[in-house]
Amino acid sequence: QQQVKQSPQSLIVQKGGIPIINCAYENTAFDYFPWYQQFPGKGPALLIAIRPDVSEKKEGRFTISFNKSAKQFSLHIMDSQPGDSATYFCAASIAKAAGNKLTFGGGTRVLVKP
């Protein structure tokens, strides 16, 4: 049972393009939504995170959009660069739940062509 569904599975864009990755969740108790970036052979690294009290958050070229009523959130990579080529994971958790366990989406492999 996958509580966080991520799409697409893979994405190819040209340098300067804006890859968009979408996630949908089922559990309305989720209240923390991080995105992780993973390069081959490395562990996932926290990229940016949002809570449901805001609809958008920007950090550098990365933006999260959040739609609480639709139970969806997305990651936009502005002015994408070849160095952004990586696998991206969305996740969700309940901040005050025991263990603060993260539920991950299936991942999106992004390739940015020069």
Partner 1 sequence: DAGITQSPRHKVTETGTPVTLRCHQTENHRYMYWYRQDPGHGLRLIHYSYGVKDTDKGEVSDGYSVSRSKTEDFLLTLESATSSQTSVYFCAIRGGVDTQYFGPGTRLTVL
Binding site for partner 1 (CB under 8 A): 4, 6, 9, 32, 34, 36, 41-46, 49, 89, 91, 93, 95, 98-102, 104-107
Q: How far is the CB of 16 from partner 1 (least distance, A)?
A: 28
**What is the DSSP track for the chain?**
--SEEEE-SEEEEETT---EEEEEE--TT--BEEEEEE-TTS--EEEEEE-TT-SEEEETTEEEEEETTTTEEEEEETT--GGG-EEEEEEEB-TTSGGG--EE---EEEEEE-
Nearer to partner 1, 19 or 44 (CB): 44
Nearer to partner 1, 78 or 103 (CB): 103
Q: How far is the CB of 33 from partner 1 (least distance, A)?
A: 10
Q: How far is the CB of 44 from partner 1 (least distance, A)?
A: 5
Nearer to partner 1, 29 or 95 (CB): 95
